[in-house]
Amino acid sequence: MYQGYVLPDKARADDYVTVHQDYACMLVTVMQALVDRFDDQYPFVNTKLSLLTGQDFDVGDFVRGRNAVYGWIQGRGLEALAGHCAWLQKQGLEDALVLRLSDMMRLVLDRVCHIWRQNNERLWFFMQPDGQPFILGDEGKPISFSLTADVPYGFSDLFTSKGMYAAACYLGDEDIRQEALRYIEAVDEAIWTGNFENDQVTLDPKNPVTPSPGKVMHGPFMIQIGTAAMLVLQGEVEGIDMGLRLIRHELDCYVNLDGRVSGFENGDMWEAVGKDGLPYLDENGAALSDPGHALEFVGLALKFTAAAKDSGLLDEKQQQDVAYFERVMSVILKQNFENGFLGKGINKAFDLVSRKPMNTDLPWWNLPETMRAAAFCRQIVSTDDDAQMCDDVFRLCHNVFVQHFVRPDLCLMAYQTITEFGDPIDVIPATADADPGYHTGLSIIDVLDVLKTAYFKP
């Protein structure tokens, strides 16, 4: 039974056991809800419900309804289904649920691959159920277009290439696994050559995402680290070089270490660089940081380094790189948590120049991502002070997550956004669809593995 257990300041092993039990219950409950909502006549991951009211969105809603299929959610959903099935099987839990989730995964994967092929091996942020990509016109109505070769790759491609690969590996579909590997390679090339743009449609005026000339965001590099970790965990040797290159690029271009950029604090991480390679300043002279993205980077980087070390594939130079990466992660974790944490969550945007929040809305997703970062970091730090810092970050994120976001009355799903005062609000961080177990579930699965090694012994 889920308790919503709050960690005390001086948590002991038994406290973490209870937290582990709560999160295991959450993972099962959310997956049960996901498969109960599935309809093979609508072969998509369906989380089209209001996390404020618990009611399904109106079918005719162009943004929230069933005719708006989000490429992000389908890709994330496939990865989440594969990750949860693998975790459930490892734990020896819910055999009947695993079978239902596997059947669902097969149907969603087949549908996504069909749409991918009909769109020149691409996906888009907004699509109709038949796979037709669209944007929103001035009146908020769909305008169809074609994903031709001149359209840059976007996050839908990144999430879907990962999701296709994860699902194909779990289901043992070698043909789709090879297609997904080719897709991953195409996305990776697009990221490095600049043929990648955010395909997200802004659904929150306070979160502008329109690409700007000369502004290079770190998001694609960061999320692709998760792809590299997945490849390494599946025994793909090329994932090693991919991950090392991505982490090095992130650290060299987007993080202030050892005073590399004057006027910023050690460990600060900015969202974008300009043509000069320095932090991108907007028209008001602000340097945007999304603390949640910085903390997500730490978690993904440490997931990769753990997988790389376990693989036995690292040569001496690569081992040195990994050792350096791990040494600096506690600095980045501590600094960006301090930049972002407002007492009831982590803010969406922080200005590294004025040292003040730019957007005090608190989305749900950065809390489990930060818990993963803190848990992984706890395993590799070398001082008691750093270990205590990781424990504090984990405790604070966990406590506000279960106290202010998680809805025990709605399948243990979480409000998407609350205010700095703790009030749930109707603000869409990225997609109107609720999380299909990606940010929350996959992050928490990693957390549970670490809890049993770093915090208590089962």
pTM of the model: 0.97
Contact assessment for residue 348 and residue 206, using Cβ atoms and an 8 Å cutoff: yes
Under DSSP, the state recorded for 324 is H
Longest dimension (CA), the chain: 58
Place 127 in a pLDDT band, splitting at 50, 70 and 90. Answer: very high
Instruction: State the pLDDT at residue 213.
Output: 86
Place 454 in a pLDDT band, splitting at 50, 70 and 90. Answer: confident
Residue 62 is encoded by which pair of tokens?
């162009």
Q: Is the pLDDT of residue 455 over 90?
A: no
Q: How far apart are CA 300 and CA 158, in angstroms?
A: 15
For 175-190, write each residue's pLDDT tens digit: 999 999 999 999 999 9
Q: How far apart are CA 324 and CA 312, in angstroms?
A: 18
Instruction: Say which residue the tokens 């959610």 belong to.
Output: 73
Residue 312 is encoded by which pair of tokens?
């036995």
Residue 58 is encoded by which pair of tokens?
């109106």
Instruction: State the pLDDT at residue 211.
Output: 83
H helix intervals, 262-383: 291-311, 316-340, 366-380
For 392-416, write each residue's pLDDT tens digit: 999 999 999 999 999 999 999 999 9
What average pLDDT does range 315-328 have in this prediction? 98
Instruction: State the pLDDT at residue 208.
Output: 84
DSSP 3-state of 319: helix
Burial class (CB in 10 A: 0-12, 13-18, 19+), 95: exposed
Q: Is the pLDDT of residue 306 over 90?
A: yes
Q: How far apart are CA 90 and CA 446, in angstroms?
A: 13
Portion of the chain with pLDDT greater than 70, in percent = 100
What's CA 112's distance to the chain center, in Å? 20
For 360-375, write each residue's pLDDT tens digit: 999 999 999 999 999 9
Nearest by Cα to 222 from 294, 140, 330, 119: 294
What average pLDDT does range 280-301 have in this prediction? 97
Q: What stretches of 365-445 adopt beta strand conformation (E)? A: 406-407, 413-414, 417-418
Residue 457 is encoded by which pair of tokens?
């012994």
Which residue type is seen at 412? L
Burial class (CB in 10 A: 0-12, 13-18, 19+), 126: buried
Q: How far apart are CA 178 and CA 350, in angstroms?
A: 41
- Buried residues in 357-367 as b, exposed as e (16+ CB within 10 A): bbbbbbbbbbb
Q: Is the pLDDT of residue 322 over 90?
A: yes
Portion of the chain with pLDDT greater than 90, in percent = 95
Strand partners, 143: 135
Higher per-residue pLDDT: 208 or 92: 92
Which residues are CB-contacts of 104 (< 8 A; sequence separation ≥ 6)? 34, 35, 38, 81
Nearest by Cα to 405 from 18, 10, 20, 26: 26
Which residues are CB-contacts of 407 (< 8 A; sequence separation ≥ 6)? 51, 54, 413, 414, 415
